[in-house]
Every structure is written in C-alpha cells, then in structure tokens.
Structure 1
Amino acid sequence: RNNSIGFVFQSYNIISHLDVLSNVELGMTLSGVAKEEKREKAKNALIRVGLEKHMHKQPNQLSGGQMQRVAIARALANDPDVLLCDEPTGALDSETGQQIMGLIQELANEKLVIMVTHDSELAHQYANRIINFKDGEVVNDSNPYDNEDADAVLDMRRTGMSYLTALNLSFKNIMTKKGRTFITSFASSIGIISIAVVLSLSNGFQKQIDSTQAETSAQFPVTISQVAQDASNFTLSTEEETEYPEGNTVIANEDPASAGQHENDITTDLVEYVKDIDPALTEALNYTYSAQLNLLRDVDGEVEQVAFSNYAQDSATGDIQSFYATSSGMGAST
C-alpha cells in the first residue's frame, strides 16, 4: 500500500510540526528511500504542483488550496500506481477546487486516479468512468471494465524505516512541543525520584535495624556447656507428619532425663583454641570449670549429703550441684 497507492485526504492530514518539504518526504521516509533521492523527488513533486516557493514554510502559513497541493505532492512523490482521492475539494472554495481538479485530471493521464465525491456534477465534469454506490452496493457503472489480463503482476517492494530515522522523527516531534515535553519529563522525574527515595529510606532503615540488632546481640555472651539442651527435639509435629502405632501398645522413653540433651566434647585442644582467638574479635573470654562433690556427713547416726547452699539442692534429682569457680586463665579453683 505504501509503494503502490498514494492518498489525498479531504482534511489534508498535514503534520503541523514539519515544514512543507518534510511533509512530502515523509512517505518516502517510511519506505526507506535514501536521503538524497528523497529530497530530490520531494522538490520535483512540489514544483509540479506549483509550490516551489513554499517548500520551507510551515503548514500554518499556507492556505487551504496550498495544503491540498502539499497533500497531492506527498502522494505523488513516492511514484504510486494508483492515486486515491477522498473528497479532495470538499474543504475548498469553488475556484480553488477547480484548480485542484485540473491538477488531478492532469495526473489521470499518467496514473489511475480513483476519487470519492458526493458532488455528481463534479464527477460528470471530470471523470471518464463513474460508479454509483448506495448503501454499500454498486448501483450503476458508466464504463464497466473486464480485466482479462491474468499475467499482470503487482511489483511489491519491501519497505522499512531505519532505527535512526525513527529517532530523528521522534526528536523533531519532541522539540516542537517543548512545554508539554518538559511537563511530562518533570512529572516522570518526580515519580522516579519518589520511588528512589522510598527505596533508599527502606534500605537505610533495614541497615540500621540490622546494625542495632548486631550491637544488641553482641552484649549477650555465647555459652558452651558440657551438656546442652537440643530444642529441636521439643518441636511438635503437625497432624499430617504424626505416625501412629499400628498396635495398642505405646513404648515410652526409657530415659526421660536424657531426652533432648546433647553432650559437647570439650577437650583441652578446644580450650587452647579458644584461648588463642584474636582479642580484637571479642570483648572478653571467660572459662568456667565445674567439679561435682559428693560429700557425706554423719548427723546423729544418719548419713546425709552435704549441701553448700539453699539453692544447691536439685528438686528433680536430689543431687548436689556442681561447685563453680570462674577465672580468666586456665587455673581451676574449688
């Protein structure tokens, strides 16, 4: 369609931010015609329609008849096989309309010109074939034509516009509407900056929270005991994960006291390793040793265990708790 058909619209469809020459070149720009060839064809088309002195004017500097001539020149510049004219004189006065129709009649000697009009008098004055339509149906054809040329081939050329050409047209459009472009850019910038500020604040708060948590956690000591409690053993299973016994017998844990306990193998090598830790990595290291004393005494003929304090007695086992001495070195005290 871009290669074989040229369009002349009733309302001209001239692009307001392009000059006359650029408007005529536009169709060839979309077809990918070279710059020098495009410029030469556009000038020849404008000269043919009598606008050689108006090539560099803006559309708002032209009259209605001149803008219609620009539209005709744009349609002719790409050398189409068919020229479609939609009410080409509908927006013009009678004198200007006759001039445009004379130009179109001249073009009909070289190309097939199809014109749509509601003015039957205009059609009978200039057309050599008139087809009447009513409600989308053909009512009359003054000169029917039977096309029997089966060997006719339509030359379809591949069209394309380069990426740089598209950027250039976009830039020209932006520059013609500077106020709107500035307001749009400003509003978009506010949105982008707002999102950036929110993300920055969120990231900053998260880092501050992480830092505060790290500083707070550093104030609590890390304790490694000989016997530790394994909290994972106390995790309750969900109903889906619970396995029920097939029989009626339930076997209880034979040693409830040892359930959930984990014994750490604290050796002399481990203690030496802890002593050699870089002091810059920790604020203090304390070593605690325990010794379990099982002392008995005779009280009025009855043997009793010796309790060192009111808190030494374990309510669960009744055993004497360990007596602890703490030092910063390896020397143990009892």
Structure 2
Amino acid sequence: MTLNNIVLGFLFVFQTGFGVLGNSFLLGLYTTIFFIGPRLRPIDLLLTHLAFVNNLVLLSKGIPQTTAALGFNNFLDDVGCKLVFYLHRVARGLSLWTTCFLSGSQAIILSPRHSRWAKIKARIPKGIGPFCFLCWNFHLLIYYSILLRVKGPTRIKNITERNDLIYCSATFDISYDVIQSVFIFSLPDVFCVGIMVATSRCMFSILYKHHQTVQYVHGNNVTPRSSPETRATQTILALVSMFISFYSLNSILALYMQLGKPKSWLIHMSAFLAACFPVCSPFVSIVSDSQVSKYSMFLFDRIKLLVQQNPEKYS
C-alpha cells in the first residue's frame, strides 16, 4: 500500500463521513419535526427525500471506493458488485430528479398569480408523494441491466469484459451500450438538467424584478430583510447551480473515460466529483435556509422542556 493510496483512502473517508453527517442531520431534523413539530413546507419534504437519496449515493459509492483506494480490490463478490452499482445508479438518478422537481416546483410557487402556472401551485404538496413513488419505480426499472452486466473482479474471461471499475468488472456490448446510454440513460438526465437551467433562469428573473421593486419602494439606502420564500428560492438556486456544475464536470470526465481504458486516478476523480453534490448540498441548506435553524431551535426547546419536566429520568 503506497502513500498515495493511504491519502486517497482518507480523502474518501472524510468526504463520505462529512456528507453522511450533514444529510443525516437534515434527515433526522425533518423527520422529527414532521412528527412532533410545526407543519413542514412542501420544499422540506423534497429536501428530506433529497437527503435520504444523497446518503444512499455516498454510502454505495464512498465505502467501496475507500476500500479500493486502500488497495483491497477483491472485497466484493458478484452479488455485492451488482447491488452496490445498482443502488448507486438508482440513488444518483433520484438525486437528479428530486433536485429537478425542487427547482420546478419553486419556480411555479414564485410565478405571478395571473400566470398559467397559478392553478398548479395548490397541487404541488399533493404531488410530492406520487412523484417520489413514480421516480423510485422508474429508476429501479431502468437500471435493471446493471444487475445483469456488473460482476465481481475475478470474473474477467475475455476482452469483452473490462475491469475498469477497480473493484468490480462489467460486460460491454459496444453497439447496445451506445443506444442504451444515449436514449435510456442520457436523455432523461439531459432533460432534467435542461429543466433546472430554465427554472433557475425564471427564478432568478423573478427575484431580480422583486429586488428592483423593493429597492424602488424603500429607497436605495434601505436594505429590507428577505422573506422566507425568497431565502428558500436562493437556497434552491444554490443547490441547482452546484448540481449542474458538478454534474457537468463528472459527465465530461465520464465521456472521456468511455473513449478508452481509463486510468485508476481518473476513476477515483470521477467518484470524487460524483460525491461532491451529495456532500455539499445539506450544508448549503443548513447555512442558507433560515427555516432549518428555526426547526433546530424548536427541537432544542422541546428537548430542554422534556428534561426539565423529567429531571430524574435524564440525570
């Protein structure tokens, strides 16, 4: 085991642990508030789902990648490789679609009352549950081929199999792969990214016009506080911008890797970029969304009250 492998392994450990900690905090906070606290916003339900699937992305990729970086490449058998890659691709797709729905729904909520989207505003909270259900079913179905083609690292028998996954191998049929990648996997992703770009521009335009109106009413020397809805929109814009940036970089690297046999450092870099959004997104919400701090203070006050009412039990 070289020094580079040790450093790379600790880098993945830190990245995975840091991201799981942030997502688990949000997941636990929103779940607790759902049962004992004030009514959650529709955006909070989507952020809860996003935190859950981001944890799946990190755990299904970070742990195997860490183990492989430390030099242990044969720790998974056929079943383990199939489940790890299948779960990672499903969770990654769910993260993309949830972020897309988050962006689209907030753009509709911000739309003027006289717009054609006004009638859909009231239906958004009711559509979150069916959306998550359909997304899970769609991604579980569309990535079924991974269960058939990903194998353990010791199953490389001929040139149609490439061990370019470091700790697993996969069979490839070039003609079928191109059709499947472009029309089944890539088009839905490109469609979602396009929606996020369009809705982000729409939200930015609405916020800019609102800011100009407020500055005109209050004067240039006054800086009024942003409304909760505005801060929530700014949080979503930050999440979407971050997702598009990391997704674009990772897609370019993945395309380059498909053109030839990639080196191990490229595979590790691709895994690192793929995990950047799940790691950073919870902390963007924690820092920029004031509702998170309000939920945290509410939960802290409830715990403090519970301890004061039962001092003997918690002493």
TM range (shorter): under 0.3
Bigger RCO (CA 8 Å, 6+ sep): 2
Higher Cα Rg, which structure:
1
The structure whose residues are more often strand, as a share, is 1
TM-score with structure 2 setting the length: 0.23
